[in-house]
Structure 1
């Protein structure tokens, strides 16, 4: 899709979703005032612009119109659920700041209910419409693939499995006639010259899926195709290393591909996160910890001998060693490292080292509250990958791929992996791998709204309970 049409299409989709959002708002308003005869004051109409702005920023990352980089309907619905969750948070925030408690729960329920019905239906309708139009041959683009190897076939499978994209592969050029091309073999790579001159086969785009060693052939193809009104795309042979957050830049004439885009590389975004950390941790320390800490300290002292706080060496940003503060939840003289195996002993269910008060503190996450001091000092953040003790880091980095990537940012009191169920013991390498993958996703997709969402989910899981907390 051409860039100008892509922008127009994205604008059309956004306007369409804003109209649906407005309909949901009006329906919720109507039900409260006409059906339940509730008093819904006119001031609340000013909530609508706030919700529209929130929807704009929360839905910008969906990229549903990216051609050749399709997202499944399930992935789009998941991102839609995230946007609806943020809408719910904004409604709660509006009612809280305007000091309203009446009717807020009823409005929130109906508004989120209608959003959860209409927005997914809109996306489902759009996808079905695109498939229908493509089957009718409308706006379909024909692709010639040069290279019938592993990369070319993987690309072909993606196109065949996503008809709504509007692409059709008309054939392959390859120096070997491979039987699995299913009758779509059109000749050797050199035949591209003849096809471009004679126009014997009609196609709109050429996708090159050749290995790096075919550099001269790729250069020749680019020259031939460039002289015609045909779009050329090249799949790099190292495409497996590139994820959806890659970045392309020009460095003194050399194209550079950055495999991992990290928003917090930008100093202004780091500053925003730091200001949020300072404000949030200061409020928690003053409003909550000022009276909660003495109570917890007294309970710890009465339950078992030993200090109130437990200070442990953990790894922070760029593997820097930091002193991580916690309330002591284990008995004195508990061993971190198993004397027989020499491995770090993670806390597990019914761990005999944990005291009765400690079990409650760990279950409710209260043992982590002293880390708000770490946040204020600056070696931790409210949200980020959880910091692990030094022995666990030394063990994990040898067996888990990309383990140290999680140390590109400051560690957090809570994180994306934790709210998705990956907290507690990770003795199984697959569990640690899943935690690392969630942490890397957070690093690559960071936003202030995502941090707020994680804080909300952490609070919610604390209220309803987490089976992995022990």
Structure 2
């Protein structure tokens, strides 16, 4: 196997440490539960322990539980661990039910095991967190940090350093050679400690532990010169992507033989993630369709009885990678426009039927789209699909508009639960919708999808902008 010439995978001994202690916590909790309740260690319990351990590790990887937590929040870390534990025990109950060995397990014993695991996963993390925090308060384990380049990316990085005290970073300042008027507007000249060469000299003298280079990509020669000068130091050097690139980047390294490439425009759901996303869609849609079948039948009958025309309206939309799909909706208008010119619904639109107005306000007209999800054309969560005519119009007006098609369109989405749904009568409204869609694509995770689904249940069905 040919090794990568450019990038090496980042590794963290802390991540392996956390994995080891999590498994130890699960096994210790099991042993304590066995002593408390007094159940015998049978082959079924051994299977249960292995099932929970493997399911926990798998779920923890999905939630990125073992990323670098020096740059993470304690609360988020604990929530990820607890979510993984819930999934692990859910998998155990499912497997024990399918293979019919639930009667061989003590429900009370399993309950004690779960509660102890819940406690132990939190307790050892809290101990480590308090230990590290106290050391940093005493001035121990602090790392001196400086940023080269007073750019937008640098300002954003600085905000994160200030917000996250648990990082253990002592910020020394920005270093830039440019005149004050050329600096990023939010960074005044007094925020700049000195020239770039001063940062390089400080790093050589051991006064800087981590140096972040946040210069624009066009400064390639300057960056190369800085790296060359730092070649004989022990400072950790990180290059921050240009702000434009960082807004698009998925931080994924691909390989073409021995050559590495950095993905910029790419779907977040590829490989194992695609399988996870599809499993989520099929399972959730199947459950919802089973529950809402009476509602679907009632709405269908009401449409048929109150107005002429088909019950289901199928409109051309762009799906994954810009391919055309037929999106299903309950008909809510007296017309079924599906041409090159589509007039968007507005307030008091005469085309909307009385029943249709109610369906649109409550988003009940979208329910047939769960069938689109089962078919594989759509997803539960994703950017809302627009009419083809609207796509062709706005792709010319909104930057990176078509990037929202790097994932399947969804029944609900990050933009919708944040209020950016309904009529887009101004360019600013569409721009904000696209901004939230791109944020979702960039930060996609199973946990993010679950969050959006729950937020949709409580706040996403009604909106004053939906006509």
Q: Same fold (TM over 0.5)?
A: yes
Work out the CA distance in 2 between the residues paired with 1:180 and 1:333: 57
Change (3 A) 1:330 1:290: closer
TM-score, length of structure 1 as denominator length = 0.66
Verify: 1:72 aligned to 2:66, yes or no: no
Which moved further from structure 2: 418-427 or 298-307? 418-427
Change (3 A) 1:215 1:155: same
SS of residue matched to 1:232: strand
Q: Which residues in structure 2 correspond to 1:279-298 (within 5 Å)?
A: none
Q: Displacement of 1:164 after TM fit?
A: 2.9
Q: Which residues in structure 2 correspond to 1:287-326 (within 5 Å)?
A: 301-302=304-305, 304-326=307-329
State whether residues 325 and 377 of structure 2, in contact with CA within 8 Å, keep that contact through their aligned partners in structure 1.
yes
Change (3 A) 1:369 1:17: same
Work out the CA distance in 2 between the residues paired with 1:454 and 1:347: 33
Work out the CA distance in 1 between the residues paired with 2:328 and 2:162: 54
Q: Displacement of 1:226 after TM fit?
A: 0.5
Picking from 135, 138, 163, the partner of 2:140 is: 138
Change (3 A) 1:444 1:213: closer
Work out the CA distance in 2 between the residues paired with 1:109 and 1:347: 55
1:367 aligned residue: 368
Deviation readout 1:421-456 (Å, 9 max, x if unpaired) = 779646598887776566545544667x6699589x
2:57 aligned residue: 56
State whether residues 148 and 209 of structure 1, in contact with CA within 8 Å, keep that contact through their aligned partners in structure 2.
yes
Picking from 456, 462, 465, the partner of 1:468 is: 462
Work out the CA distance in 2 between the residues paired with 1:160 and 1:133: 18
Q: Which residues in structure 2 correspond to 1:194-343 (within 5 Å)?
A: 199=205, 202-212=207-217, 214-238=219-243, 241-242=246-247, 245-248=250-253, 256-260=261-265, 262-266=267-271, 272=275, 301-302=304-305, 304-326=307-329, 328-330=330-332, 332-333=334-335, 342-343=343-344
SS of residue matched to 2:208: coil
Higher relative contact order (CA closer than 8 Å, sequence separation 6+)? 2
State whether residues 315 and 327 of structure 2, in contact with CA within 8 Å, keep that contact through their aligned partners in structure 1.
yes
Work out the CA distance in 2 between the residues paired with 1:250 and 1:174: 34
Change (3 A) 1:282 1:369: closer
Change (3 A) 1:361 1:85: farther
Work out the CA distance in 2 between the residues paired with 1:104 and 1:425: 52
Verify: 1:13 aligned to 2:13, yes or no: no
Unaligned 5+ runs, structure 2: 1-7, 181-186
Deviation readout 1:55-96 (Å, 9 max, x if unpaired) = 22222243655378x233454455456535534643553355
Work out the CA distance in 2 between the residues paired with 1:423 and 1:66: 33
Number of corresponding residues: 445
Work out the CA distance in 1 between the residues paired with 2:155 and 2:240: 12
State whether residues 77 and 120 of structure 1, in contact with CA within 8 Å, keep that contact through their aligned partners in structure 2.
yes
Deviation readout 1:102-121 (Å, 9 max, x if unpaired) = 99998898777666665455
Q: Displacement of 1:133 after TM fit?
A: 1.6
1:189 aligned residue: 196
Unaligned 5+ runs, structure 1: none
2:95 aligned residue: 94
Deviation readout 1:326-361 (Å, 9 max, x if unpaired) = 4x3436448899x9x95334999xx75425996899
State whether residues 314 and 388 of structure 1, in contact with CA within 8 Å, keep that contact through their aligned partners in structure 2.
yes
Change (3 A) 1:323 1:21: same
Q: Displacement of 1:245 after TM fit?
A: 3.0
Work out the CA distance in 2 between the residues paired with 1:364 and 1:108: 44
Change (3 A) 1:262 1:308: closer
Change (3 A) 1:176 1:89: same
State whether residues 321 and 407 of structure 2, in contact with CA within 8 Å, keep that contact through their aligned partners in structure 1.
yes
Work out the CA distance in 1 between the residues paired with 2:456 and 2:174: 52
Verify: 1:46 aligned to 2:39, yes or no: no
Change (3 A) 1:83 1:354: farther
Q: Displacement of 1:13 after TM fit?
A: 0.8
Q: Which residues in structure 2 correspond to 1:451-466 (within 5 Å)?
A: none
